[in-house]
Amino acid sequence: MTKKTTIYDIAKKLNITAATVSRALNNNPKISKSTKEIVLRTAAEMNYEQNKLAQALKNGKSFNVGVIISRIDSNFFASIIRGIEEELFNHGYHVIICQTNNNENMEAENINTLLNAQVDGILMSISNIDIDKNDAFKRILNKKIPLLFFDRKKSIPGISSITIDDFSAGYKATQHLIDEGCKRISHLTVDRNFEIFRDRFLGYQKALSDNNILFDESLVIETKSNIEAGKDAAKKLLKLKNPPDAIFSSSDFSALGAIQEIKAQGIRIPQDICVVGFSNEPFTKFMELSISSIDQSPIEMGKTTARVFIEQVKNKEKYIEQKVVLDPTLIVRKSSSRK
Amino acid sequence: MTKKTTIYDIAKKLNITAATVSRALNNNPKISKSTKEIVLRTAAEMNYEQNKLAQALKNGKSFNVGVIISRIDSNFFASIIRGIEEELFNHGYHVIICQTNNNENMEAENINTLLNAQVDGILMSISNIDIDKNDAFKRILNKKIPLLFFDRKKSIPGISSITIDDFSAGYKATQHLIDEGCKRISHLTVDRNFEIFRDRFLGYQKALSDNNILFDESLVIETKSNIEAGKDAAKKLLKLKNPPDAIFSSSDFSALGAIQEIKAQGIRIPQDICVVGFSNEPFTKFMELSISSIDQSPIEMGKTTARVFIEQVKNKEKYIEQKVVLDPTLIVRKSSSRK
DNA sequence: TTGTACGCGTTATCAT
DNA sequence: ATGATAACGCGTACAA
């Protein structure tokens, strides 16, 4: 193994000092054109390679950014990360990913290890509704490095977030179902302690009241975001004396489960029951009975998150909180088209 | 902002030297129990936080691992990364992800920036069939840090890889179609310069010949791995004088496109044409006409890749090349079940 | 068991 | 324009 060459080696070879070499390598103006040239040339000859670690230690800037999500193997989160990585790559940053599996302790641990690794910022979709009471969280604030929430945010003064308008999304989905003639609209929600799920629920409620439809608590079911939970929810709904004629689900996966159960019971979609999901996972489009859903433009969400981060590192002094709210798009497919 | 506390600060407070503090913090045996205790206690009191960057510079070990893939927003790659991250987390490593979009230059650039960032290893699915001729690639070898291929590998002596048995997968899929009574079996392949696609093709060929079915070049179509390409391929196939009665695709996405085109032309699946895809993407299971596919157990593949990496860093001297070959599983669904 | 002194590779602040 | 030196925060061989 050839020992790695440092700026010292190349300085020795040229009978100059390491400082000069460093200047040549960093486009420092205080250097003559000639020496700069020869330094760059011999650097190339000696296969010199920057040690970003040493730079990071010296400059207090690692050019690493931590991204924390619950899990990466869902199209929604994977797409966000795609957007983040693509955008940050252009600015020389690397993306470190961490998964919490929705576990609060994992989330705290991930924050701590990221901070110890001296990341320049943390972008996260929260797994803990009380994150602001968490010590690890406070460490981020203390360090004064940018912290950004995307998707699962918590509204905290001074902390920027990038989300879609979940209230509007819930409203749009519900209004659409009403427009299709549905009158008893169920809502499959997830933990409403998270703002995104509460907002979708509130949008749903508002659309109902705007259309003079009485809100019926028994039509709201809290589920996990998976197929089995969707089936269970549908079973409950179909047992009601007065079952729903539509389901708006905060998750594509529970929407799919509900659809499977409904069809298994011989009930027709969309004629008897219309269904709208959430997130526009690829399968919703591919199915023969394609599923209507809310598109959250995750790649754009990721890119935007990255851009806000870049802005914040550039204006470290005059940091301004940004609450970016992207527009959700209702995508109407067969599961809710009665025309 | 409270200035970050270093081992120096805590040494000063205790009237000892930084070296002793370091020893206390690193379970160094050369220290008394009593001083160790008090150091740890005051470290906690002063909110001391390890600077992994400084450690990394000193020890030549960053505890960061680079993972390079074409893109993260496919369930297959996302699941692999999930497996890698989960496994590596337990060993204190962070995962840096890089996407190439199948661009060779991006791949080389990613390698270079990862090396400059002093990662302890690189795990990658290659985007360049001539990667071994690449300078960036040679840099990895020179640095003597572990390099592992997963999925899209290239067989290079001394380099470990974790893949499924693609030949066997191609064979299994084809044999299954033959068992269902198909006689003219088409194959949608991707760039056969990549070993995985060539192996799947070879397995397909072998199954044909083992069953005394004549190989027909006109039934093999090279496509991209997306829906449109699948549609185009199906159009070509259906125009043949003697169209196929089965399609084995190296990609679930082109399989889906083919299915859409076939159905659009009023041809029945599986009665007229059976279809088998590859990768077991979630949508293949969810569709009403569920799609048979080959499962590559991506999470397991990721975990295995991580484990092999850990082994290699632990036995840096007696490094032994490992070629792990996981077993593919044929998952038979409606698109190829005629019973 | 503890302290001293130096090095990891780089950059920034002084001089010259 | 260039050189000398210190510093980033930590770990360790050597000496005490």
Query: Does the CB of A115 have a partner CB in chain B at under 8 Å?
Result: yes
Q: Which residue is nearest to nucleotide C8 (CA to C1')?
A: B58
Considering the domain architecture, whether residues A68 and A44 belong to the same structural domain is answered as no
**Chain B residues lying within 8 Å of A75, measured CB to CB:** 73, 75, 78
Q: Which residue is nearest to nucleotide D9 (CA to C1')?
A: B54
Considering the domain architecture, whether residues A172 and A280 belong to the same structural domain is answered as yes
> Over 90: is that where the pLDDT of A23 sits?
yes
Q: Would you say the C-alpha torsion A298, A304, A307, A309 has a positive or negative sign?
A: negative
| Count of CB atoms situated within 10 Å of the CB of A338 | 11
Cα distance between residue A91 and residue A313, in whole Å: 11
Q: How far B282 CA lies from chain A's nearest CA (Å)? A: 7
User: Under an 8 A CB cutoff, do B52 and A79 touch?
Assistant: no
* Bases in strand D with any atom closer than 7 Å to a protein CB: 1-5, 7-13
Q: Which residues face A123 on adjacent strands?
A: A67, A148
Inside any domain, residue A215: yes
In this prediction, residue B77 carries a pLDDT of 98
Exposed / middle / buried, residue B334 (Cβ in 10 Å: 0-12, 13-18, 19+): middle
**Long-range contact set of residues B103-109: C-beta below 8 Å, sequence gap at least 24:** B103/B127, B104/B128, B104/B134, B107/B68, B107/B131, B107/B134, B107/B136, B108/B134, B108/B135, B108/B136, B108/B137, B109/B136
Return the residue matching tokens 């999500």.
A69
Considering the domain architecture, whether residues A137 and A248 belong to the same structural domain is answered as no
Considering the domain architecture, whether residues B123 and B202 belong to the same structural domain is answered as no
pLDDT digits (tens, 9 = 90+) for A95-145: 999 999 999 999 999 999 999 999 999 999 999 999 999 999 999 998 999
Percent of chain A with pLDDT over 90: 95
In this prediction, residue A319 carries a pLDDT of 73
SS3 content of chain B, % helix, strand, coil (to 5): 45, 15, 35
Inside any domain, residue B94: yes
Q: Which residues face B69 on adjacent strands?
A: B99
Select the residue from A72, A269, A288 to test the B interface by mutation, using most B Cβ atoms within 10 A. Answer: A72
> Over 50: is that where the pLDDT of A206 sits?
yes
Inside any domain, residue A251: yes
Contacts of B174 (CB under 8 A, 6+ apart): B185, B187, B203, B204, B207, B208, B248
Q: Which nucleotide is nearest to B33 (CA to C1')?
A: C1
Considering the domain architecture, whether residues B218 and B290 belong to the same structural domain is answered as yes
Q: How far A142 CA lies from chain B's nearest CA (Å)? A: 6
Nearest CA in chain A to B50: A116
**A-contacting residues of B 251-270, CB under 8 Å?**
256
In this prediction, residue A1 carries a pLDDT of 47
Q: What's the average model confidence in pLDDT over B279-288?
A: 96
Considering the domain architecture, whether residues A40 and A84 belong to the same structural domain is answered as no
In this prediction, residue B2 carries a pLDDT of 59
In this prediction, residue A4 carries a pLDDT of 84
A4 φ/ψ angles, rounded to the nearest 5 degrees: -70, 140
User: Under an 8 A CB cutoff, do B73 and A82 touch?
Assistant: yes
Select the residue from B25, B46, B53, B81 to test the A interface by mutation, using most A Cβ atoms within 10 A. Answer: B53
Q: Which residue is nearest to nucleotide D5 (CA to C1')?
A: A19
Considering the domain architecture, whether residues B185 and B265 belong to the same structural domain is answered as yes
Strands B121-124 vs B323-326: parallel, antiparallel or unpaired: unpaired
Contacts of B207 (CB under 8 A, 6+ apart): B170, B171, B172, B174, B175, B178
In this prediction, residue B262 carries a pLDDT of 98
The answer to whether the CB of A290 falls within 8 A of the CB of A337 is no
The model's confidence at residue A239, banded by pLDDT at 50, 70 and 90, is very high
Choose the closest CB to A118 out of B51, B139, B144.
Answer: B51
> Over 90: is that where the pLDDT of B317 sits?
no
pLDDT digits (tens, 9 = 90+) for B66-111: 999 999 999 999 999 999 999 999 999 999 999 999 999 999 999 9
**Chain B residues lying within 8 Å of A78, measured CB to CB:** 72-75, 78
Domain count, chain A: 3
Inside any domain, residue A148: yes
Cα separations in angstroms, B193 against A185, B131, B153, B187, B219: 54, 12, 11, 16, 19
Considering the domain architecture, whether residues A144 and A263 belong to the same structural domain is answered as no
Q: What's the average model confidence in pLDDT over B326-332?
A: 98
Considering the domain architecture, whether residues A282 and A308 belong to the same structural domain is answered as no
| CATH assignment at residue B41 | 1.10.260.40
- State chain A's mean pLDDT as an integer: 96
As a rounded value in angstroms, the CA-to-C1' distance for A60 and C5 is 25
Considering the domain architecture, whether residues B139 and B95 belong to the same structural domain is answered as yes
Inside any domain, residue A55: no
Pick from A150, A78, A151: which is nearest to A121 by CA?
A150
Cα separations in angstroms, B126 against A66, A90, A335, B286, B319: 25, 21, 40, 30, 22
pTM of the model: 0.95
Structural domain range at position A285: 166-296+330-336
pLDDT digits (tens, 9 = 90+) for A145-172: 999 999 999 999 999 999 999 999 999 9
Q: How far A59 CA lies from chain B's nearest CA (Å)? A: 11
Inside any domain, residue A1: no
| CATH assignment at residue B225 | 3.40.50.2300
Considering the domain architecture, whether residues A107 and A39 belong to the same structural domain is answered as no
In this prediction, residue B320 carries a pLDDT of 86
In this prediction, residue A2 carries a pLDDT of 60
Q: How far B213 CA lies from chain A's nearest CA (Å)? A: 33
Residues with CB under 7 A from strand D: A 15-20, 23, 29-32, 34-36, 54, 57-58, 60; B 4, 6-8, 18-19, 22-23, 25-26, 28, 48, 50-51, 54-55, 57-59
Compute the radius of gyration of chain B from its Cα atoms. 26
> Over 90: is that where the pLDDT of B1 sits?
no
Considering the domain architecture, whether residues A14 and A43 belong to the same structural domain is answered as yes
Query: Does the CB of B25 have a partner CB in chain A at under 8 Å?
Result: no
Nearest CA in chain A to B112: A49
Inside any domain, residue A115: yes
Reading the block at residue B35, the tokens are 């001083």
Cα separations in angstroms, A169 against A45, B83, B112, B243, B316: 58, 33, 43, 46, 54
Percent of chain B with pLDDT over 70: 99
User: Under an 8 A CB cutoff, do B97 and A98 touch?
Assistant: no
Inside any domain, residue A57: no
